[in-house]
């Protein structure tokens, strides 16, 4: 169940406001294996009231703004958050994955490429490039896949390093929807904040 926070009345930057919520103790303590999502309406002078989310896991605290008008659902058992567009064609999954820290950046990148190869064996990687959250740089991969009905599927994966694992973002859509959806995905990444002591 998603808890609701009261609307933040003072205008200011979203990330600063969400950070203040954490600092003030409105976020949760982190027991082992916890995975909880809370909704926090925020007031931004340029946009009015928007809905931000706070994610508390056993690995740390995270905050983000989902794409506008997308449905957001917590799946605690799978340790993921699913965001779905209104047309039900495009979706984004956010996962917190625990993993042994890599010895260096090259080893980390090699591991991520291996994960892509293992988990998306039906896909063809068409691009690999840096991606950015509010504070941390990661790596993104674009893939082409074919659905059971022979439709072409576009998947963009983004891997963001943590001290004891990674955050995975997975965008899935059709090639007809890619322009607007890629922008929404980029905005989600830009809004994503990893709390101090959690990032690598």
CA distances from 151 to 87, 144, 163 (A): 17, 10, 38
Question: Shortest CA distance to 53 belongs to which of 76, 29, 21, 24?
Answer: 21
Query: What is the domain partition of the chain in residue ranges?
Result: 3-194
Question: Shortest CA distance to 5 belongs to which of 13, 102, 35, 20?
Answer: 20
Total-model pTM: 0.79
The number of angstroms, rounded, from the C-alpha of 135 to the middle of its chain's C-alpha atoms is 13
pLDDT, tens digit (0-9, with 9 covering 90-100), for 23-75: 334 444 444 578 999 998 877 777 788 889 999 998 889 999 999 899 999 99
Per-residue DSSP letters for 165-198? Answer: EEEEEEEEEEGGGHHHHHHHHHHHHHH-EEPTTT
What local confidence, expressed as pLDDT, does residue 172 receive? 95
Domain with residues 3-194, CATH architecture? 3-Layer(aba) Sandwich (3.40)
Band of residue 21 on the pLDDT scale cut at 50, 70, 90? very low
pLDDT, tens digit (0-9, with 9 covering 90-100), for 82-117: 999 999 999 999 999 988 888 899 999 999 999 999
* 19, 41 Cβ separation under 8 angstroms: no
Question: Shortest CA distance to 166 belongs to which of 188, 133, 142, 118?
Answer: 133
């Amino acid at each position: 169940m998603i808890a609701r926070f009261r609307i933040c009345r003072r205008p200011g930057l979203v990330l600063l406001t969400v950070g203040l919520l954490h600092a003030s103790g409105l976020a949760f303590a982190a027991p082992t294996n916890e995975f909880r999502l809370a909704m926090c309406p925020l007031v931004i002078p340029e946009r009015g009231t928007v809905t931000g989310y706070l994610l508390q896991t056993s690995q740390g605290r995270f905050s983000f703004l989902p794409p506008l008008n997308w449905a957001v659902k917590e799946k605690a058992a799978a340790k993921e958050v699913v965001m779905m567009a209104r047309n039900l064609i495009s979706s984004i999954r956010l996962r917190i994955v625990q993993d042994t820290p890599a010895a260096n950046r090259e080893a980390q990148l090699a591991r991520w490429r291996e994960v892509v190869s293992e988990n998306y064996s039906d896909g063809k990687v068409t691009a690999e490039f840096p991606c950015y959250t509010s504070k941390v740089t990661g790596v993104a991969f674009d893939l082409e896949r074919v659905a059971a009905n022979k439709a072409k599927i576009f998947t963009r994966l983004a891997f963001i390093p943590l001290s004891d694992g990674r955050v995975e973002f997975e965008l899935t859509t059709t090639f007809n929807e890619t322009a607007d959806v890629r922008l929404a995905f980029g905005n989600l990444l830009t809004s994503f904040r990893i709390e101090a002591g959690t990032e690598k």
